């Protein structure tokens, strides 16, 4: 009798444990019990599967295929991902840059279920792998361009004043380049000079990303003054003009970088510090910190980009009217700078280095006119075309709107895209004739 009771008790325990196990399994997978909650949607079920994500950063020399192999992605999946990138024209797999991030999301069995490639805060591509297919899309981001007013008074340098007002070093360089024809910010800045700027600020998912164009600005100084307006003619590209519509852009920038000093001038006879002999120096050497950005001084076409003997890493650009410019001893060449590619004034060529025959970091810069080397410091530059007569009324209206907006906004104020457009519309309407009395 006792033995029978023990067996019945053991069977009851076994059935109870099995029921508890079934209940647990049902709860994990979202199945409903009689009278319980409704089953979860299929999409929600997949989200509840156990996953984990690993990240890898692009380093110098990395390729997309190599990165995927390094992170244990199947060869067939790599082929499908590359085919998807080419078919949808997402980006060039060969154009990866250092610092970009790849994220690999795997399931509990370590199978790849999602690949996320973050080229920039605004360029994110997602590849989801299924049993028999690959799904991809460009991830949407919340991006908007706001407008901020930066104004202040110079106490020591323009850079310091802009930083105090809420700008950054790059913005001071941009303003100096725009107003370079009117103001030499290296020699003509004085304590007490005043400035005001209306600047675009790009935000992605609510976080500041970068500055855009300086829409309007003025600088009033003891030694020099100037103003600028950004205007994009109908069917043309945007540019900077003064209040009368004259272009502030010159055919050539004064220099291709922000330098500390000129360490060697153009000369027909210079004693070479490494070769220890006299020879011509057909350019100007700008001493600057290693890694300082070097930009193209004018629009043109890349003629050569690569290693060139004593010049080290070297870029040569052909321009209109028989001109060419050369940039030597670069630490690296910018992405996309290669033979035959087009480049615009201000686009990055590379960074300052000390490659080739160089005693320290500097840029060797040459200007060639019709096959003959000329002194870059003596190069004459000419303004670009002014605003055409057909576009002049639109430009004058824009100038009036910008001047009014500058007067309405307080220093540091930031306007959303809608608020900015409302302010411009309000100022535009206030300029219209009020009608007959």
CATH number at residue 87: 3.10.450.350
pLDDT digits (tens, 9 = 90+) for 237-276: 788 999 999 888 877 877 787 554 565 554 555 545 554 4
Same domain as 317, residue 422: no
pLDDT digits (tens, 9 = 90+) for 39-88: 434 444 444 568 999 999 999 899 999 999 999 999 999 999 999 999 99
Name which residue leads in pLDDT, 304 or 238: 304
Give the number of other Cβ atoms within 10 Å of residue 86's Cβ.
12
Residue range of the domain that includes 226: 143-250+390-437
Domain C-terminal end among 356, 378, 400: 378
Among all chains, which residue has been given the structure tokens 């920038």? Answer: 253
User: Does residue 37 lie within any of the structural domains?
Assistant: no
CA angle 99, 294, 155 (to 5 degrees): 95
Confidence of residue 386 (pLDDT cuts 50, 70, 90): confident
d(CA 98, CA 59): 5
Beta pairing, strands 261-264 & 284-287: antiparallel
Give 279's strand partners. Answer: 270
Q: What are phi and psi of 295, to 5 degrees?
A: -120, 160
Write down the pLDDT at residue 5: 43
d(CA 223, CA 331): 37
Same domain as 225, residue 154: yes
Write down the pLDDT at residue 251: 77
Write down the pLDDT at residue 4: 39
d(CA 369, CA 349): 20
Instruction: Give the number of domains in the chain.
Output: 3
d(CA 258, CA 260): 7
What's the predicted TM-score (pTM) here? 0.60
Q: State the average pLDDT over residues 17-26.
A: 42
How much of the chain exceeds pLDDT 70, in percent? Answer: 81
User: Does residue 35 lie within any of the structural domains?
Assistant: no
């Amino acid at each position: 009798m006792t033995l029978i009771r023990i067996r019945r008790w053991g069977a009851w325990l076994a059935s109870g444990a099995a029921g508890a196990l079934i209940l647990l399994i049902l709860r994990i997978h979202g199945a409903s019990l009689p009278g319980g909650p409704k089953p979860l949607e299929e999409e929600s079920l997949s989200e509840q599967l156990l996953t984990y994500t690993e990240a890898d950063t692009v380093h110098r020399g990395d390729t997309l295929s190599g990165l995927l192999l390094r992170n244990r992605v199947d060869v067939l999946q790599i082929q499908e991902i590359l085919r998807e990138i080419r078919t949808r024209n997402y980006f060039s797999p060969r154009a990866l840059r250092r610092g970009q991030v790849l994220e690999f999301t795997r399931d509990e069995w370590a199978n790849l279920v999602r690949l996320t490639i973050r080229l920039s805060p605004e360029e994110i591509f997602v590849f989801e792998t299924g049993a028999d297919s690959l799904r991809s899309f460009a991830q949407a981001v919340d991006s908007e361009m706001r407008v901020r007013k930066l104004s202040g008074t110079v106490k020591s340098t323009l850079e310091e004043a802009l930083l105090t007002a809420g700008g950054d070093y790059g913005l001071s360089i941009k303003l100096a380049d725009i107003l370079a024809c009117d103001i030499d910010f290296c020699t003509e800045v004085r304590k007490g000079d005043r400035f005001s700027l209306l600047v675009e600020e790009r935000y992605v998912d609510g976080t500041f990303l970068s500055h855009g164009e300086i829409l309007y600005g003025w600088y009033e100084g003891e030694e020099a003054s100037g103003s600028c307006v950004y205007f994009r003619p109908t069917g043309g590209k945007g540019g900077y003009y003064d209040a009368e519509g004259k272009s502030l852009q010159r055919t050539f920038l004064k220099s291709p970088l922000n330098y500390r000093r000129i360490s060697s001038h153009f000369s027909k006879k210079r004693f070479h510090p490494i070769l220890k002999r006299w020879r011509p120096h057909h350019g100007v050497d700008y001493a600057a910190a290693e890694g300082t950005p070097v930009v193209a001084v004018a629009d043109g076409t890349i003629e050569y980009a690569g290693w060139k003997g004593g010049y080290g890493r070297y870029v040569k650009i052909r321009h209109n009217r028989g001109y060419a410019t050369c940039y030597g001893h670069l630490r690296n060449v910018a992405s996309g700078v290669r033979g035959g590619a087009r480049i615009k004034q201000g686009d990055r060529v590379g960074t300052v280095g000390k490659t080739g025959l160089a005693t320290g970091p500097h840029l060797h810069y040459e200007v060639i006119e019709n096959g003959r080397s000329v002194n870059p410091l003596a190069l004459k530059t000419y303004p670009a075309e002014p605003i055409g007569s057909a576009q002049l009324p639109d430009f004058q209206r824009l100038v009036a709107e910008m001047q009014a907006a500058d007067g309405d906004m307080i220093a540091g104020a930031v306007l959303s895209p809608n608020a900015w457009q409302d302010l411009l519309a309000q100022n535009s309407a206030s300029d219209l004739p009020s009608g007959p009395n």
